[in-house]
Structure 1
Amino acid sequence: MFENYLPVLLQIVIAGGFAVVTLVASALLGKSAKRTEIKDSAYECGMLPVGDSQPRFSVKFYIVAMLFVLFDIEVVFLYPWAVIYKDFIAAHGPSILAVATGFVSILLVAFVYAWKKGVLDWKS
Structure 2
Amino acid sequence: MFEDYFRQYALLIIFAVAAVTVPIGMLMMSYMAQFVKIRPSRPNAVKESAYEGGMPPFSDRPARFNFRYYHYALLFVIFDVETVFLFPWAVKYGVMSSQFGFAALTAVLVFLLIVTFAYVYAWRKGALEWVTNQ
**Unaligned 5+ runs, structure 1:** none
Deviations, residues 28-84 of structure 1 (Å, cap 9, x unaligned): 621xx363x455433322212112442212222111111100011101111111122
Matches within 5 A, 1:25-104: 25-26=33-34, 29-30=40-41, 33=42, 35=44, 37-104=45-112
Larger relative contact order (Cα-Cα within 8 Å, sequence gap ≥ 6): 1
CA–CA distance in structure 1, aligned partners of residues 86 and 99 of structure 2: 19
Instruction: Give the root-mean-square deviation of aligned CA atoms.
Output: 2.8
Q: How many correspondences in the alignment?
A: 118
CA–CA distance in structure 1, aligned partners of residues 58 and 73 of structure 2: 28
CA–CA distance in structure 2, aligned partners of residues 34 and 52 of structure 1: 21
Normalised by the length of structure 1, the TM-score is 0.76
| 1:93 CA displacement | 1.0
Residues 116, 82 of structure 1: alpha-carbon distance in 2 compared, 3 angstrom cutoff: same
